Amino acid sequence: MKLKRFMLAGLLPLAMAFLAATLTLGGQDTAGCEVCGKGTPENCTVIMVGKGASTDGSVMTTHTCDCGECDWTWRLVPAADHPAGSTRRIHHIDQYDSWPPDQGLKWENVKANNFTGLEIPEVARTHAYVHGDFGYMNDRQVAIGESTIGCPRKMENPTPSAKFDITMLTLIAMERANTAREAIRVMGELAEKHGYGATDTGEMLAVADPNEVWLFEIMPVGPLWTPQSGKPGAVWCAQRVPDDEVSVCPNESRIGEIDLKDPDNFMASPNVVSLAVSMGFYDPKSGKPFNWKKAYAPDPGSAAGTSGARVRLWRFLDLVAPSQKFSPETENVDFPFSVKPERKLSAYDVMLMTRDKCEGTPFWPGRGIQGGPFQNPNYLPYGFVLEGKKYDTPRIISVNRAEYVTVTQSRGWLPDPIGGIVWLAWGAQDTSCFIPLYAGITGIPRSFEIGDHWEFNRQSARWAFDYVDFHTQVVYSKAIEDVRAAQAIWEKPVVDRTPVIDTFALELNKKDPAAARKFLTDYCLGNAERVIGAWWKLGDDLLVKYNHLWVYDAKTRKRNPMIFPDWWLKLLVEYNGLKPRPEEKK
């Protein structure tokens, strides 16, 4: 997900006033990419877990849709049969496109306004799937997560010749693919034939099924490409994550040296090397092996060298394999493609990892003056400019601008309608709650389909979680404990209940598959509505409890003062030149 420039005032909660006494922001840099000296926006984190690296044999992917202004609505597209000779219309779908609610919802507007002029032959039957800004899982348990990685400017192709963007590719993959490998081939071949780019540059997708997970990267080939050239309209490469290992993509190309003689672990477009040679990115006479990321996305920088702006890759590796003692001084480009975790990961472990804010490290953004008196790690999520100089701040896994977060599970020991789960958390990870959506459901709540950043709407599920998040920011270190207590009630027990739901649905499926789907649909929708209701109430409770920056105890009906930490009060005294009250004369 790429990031457009927008005003700081739209980002920070009102609690930023606490910092006014101790920090002057000067000219805020909200470009995201500039603070770490690269052209790639810093917006989405994707985690991949092989089936041998998970506690139950699940293949898992994640996607933190870290946009901050994108359309967040979701849809369920049912399976469909298509008559011979029918076609599929291809639309341009900008990740950022949205319309005011009174002009209609995004996905209807896309179909009405963004036709590319291309129609491709339709397949006889398309799969059911759920999608938000991208396709996430279909009824064959094929799952996807996305992260923008960028590409050299001369590779970009924003011209009409590029018929496919990354969102459209993921939707077609959802409709047509039975496996991860099929999804990669479908997307790669369509992009080669009809051109890739439009609103997108270099993109990465985690592509999974019940057996394996692949890291797929794709880039345009420049604005001069035309279908008549006879050359591929995209360049792409894919590498399989070993079954017993895990990997991550934090907006950085991750594929290094490739071996196309090993089709079990690598796939690529036919121009994967030749395009790099023609563009001057790789010299075959150098004696060096071809390296995908060094050719197409050279990206220097380390966690320590950028004051944490490039910390996510190191942090992930340190979390899953701490005994290897990966150094934050290591250039990110030199880290391994994947590692074997020191303990197998459960779905809940992965959920918690999406909430990681580098606690316990020098890169924790809640420390000291940056976090303010209540250790808020969500202050100052971008680098800034002060007196003509640029400063970096940590860009952690869990940032405060997520539209939603997904954790997908593809589980091969169960029938597809039961084996596939998308765990969906609306809004910022730390203040949200993961909700299960089984692959076999036949509907989603209406509240998932509506909502907009610029118009408050109590009928939209997302706004329930933003409501809680807003009230949490003011006194973060205190209010986040209330949120975690709610998560302990509404999230962890639901994750733990999954095997029970699986077993009941499996027995029902043996007798009546339609009844099993209805059970799963009722369960998912009922749980979602209960959680959404609980979050609206939690938001109300936080407003009451911390109203006017006091602490209101509803049980005792007493009001107590908010306690500010001594270190912050000392800074306040020093900065504002406060004088102590004169001692009383005895």
DSSP labels for 230-295?
-S-S-EEEEEEEPTT-EEEESSS----B--TT-TTTEEE-TTTTHHHHHTTS--GGGSPPPBHHHH
Q: What does the pLDDT read at residue 97?
A: 86
In the three-class reduction of DSSP (H, G, I as helix; E, B as strand; rest coil), residue 77 is classed as strand
Whether 481 has a pLDDT exceeding 60, the answer reads yes
Confidence tier at 472 by pLDDT (50, 70, 90)? very high
Phi first, then psi: give them for residue 302, nearest 5 degrees: -130, 170
User: CA gyration radius for the chain?
Assistant: 24
Integer Cα distance of 81 and 58 in angstroms: 30
Whether 11 has a pLDDT exceeding 80, the answer reads no
In the three-class reduction of DSSP (H, G, I as helix; E, B as strand; rest coil), residue 51 is classed as helix
Average pLDDT over residues 176-198: 98
Q: Beta partners for 422? A: 408, 437
Whether residue 219 contacts residue 201, with contact meaning beta carbons closer than 8 Å, is answered with yes
Integer Cα distance of 201 and 199 in angstroms: 7
Q: What does the pLDDT read at residue 23?
A: 35
Q: In what order do the strands lie in the sheet with 135-138?
A: 75-77, 129-131, 135-138, 143-148, 203-208, 213-219, 235-241, 266-268
Whether residue 150 contacts residue 38, with contact meaning beta carbons closer than 8 Å, is answered with yes
Integer Cα distance of 43 and 45 in angstroms: 7
Whether residue 63 contacts residue 208, with contact meaning beta carbons closer than 8 Å, is answered with no
Integer Cα distance of 478 and 329 in angstroms: 34
Integer Cα distance of 430 and 37 in angstroms: 28
Q: Which of 142, 138, 131, 140 is nearest to 166 (CA)?
A: 131
Q: At CB < 8 A and 24+ separation, what contacts does 12-18 make?
A: 12/379, 12/380, 13/378, 13/470, 13/473, 13/474, 14/473, 14/474, 15/372, 15/374, 15/376, 15/473, 15/474, 15/475, 15/476, 16/379, 18/372, 18/373, 18/374
Whether 352 has a pLDDT exceeding 90, the answer reads yes
DSSP state letter for 585: P
Confidence tier at 1 by pLDDT (50, 70, 90)? low
Whether 131 has a pLDDT exceeding 60, the answer reads yes
Whether residue 419 contacts residue 412, with contact meaning beta carbons closer than 8 Å, is answered with yes
Dihedral of CA atoms 151, 153, 155, 158 in degrees, nearest 10, equals 110
Give the CA distances from residue 143 to residues 59, 212, 263, 286, 433, in Å, rounded to whole numbers and listed in that order: 9, 10, 21, 39, 20
Tens digits of per-residue pLDDT, 364-419?
A: 999 999 999 999 999 998 889 999 999 999 999 999 999 999 999 999 999 999 99
- Between the two ends of the chain, the Cα-to-Cα distance in Å is 67
294 alpha-carbon distance from chain centroid: 24
Q: Which of 156, 17, 48, 168 is nearest to 107 (CA)?
A: 168
In this structure, what token pair is assigned to residue 492?
A: 């962890």
Q: What does the pLDDT read at residue 359?
A: 96
Q: In what order do the strands lie in the sheet with 27-28?
A: 27-28, 384-386, 389-391
Whether 331 has a pLDDT exceeding 70, the answer reads yes
Query: Tokens 């209609």 map to which residue?
Result: 104
Whether 32 has a pLDDT exceeding 80, the answer reads no
The letter for the amino acid at 422 is V
Phi first, then psi: give them for residue 371, nearest 5 degrees: -80, -10
Whether 39 has a pLDDT exceeding 90, the answer reads no
Q: Count CA atoms closer than 13 A to 431's CA, side-chain side.
A: 33
Taking the model in full, what pTM does it have?
Answer: 0.92
Q: What does the pLDDT read at residue 258?
A: 98
- Percentage of the chain with pLDDT > 90? 88
Q: What does the pLDDT read at residue 382?
A: 86
Say how many C-beta atoms besides its own lie within 10 A of residue 389's C-beta.
Answer: 8
Average pLDDT over residues 37-45: 61
In the three-class reduction of DSSP (H, G, I as helix; E, B as strand; rest coil), residue 379 is classed as coil
Confidence tier at 30 by pLDDT (50, 70, 90)? very low
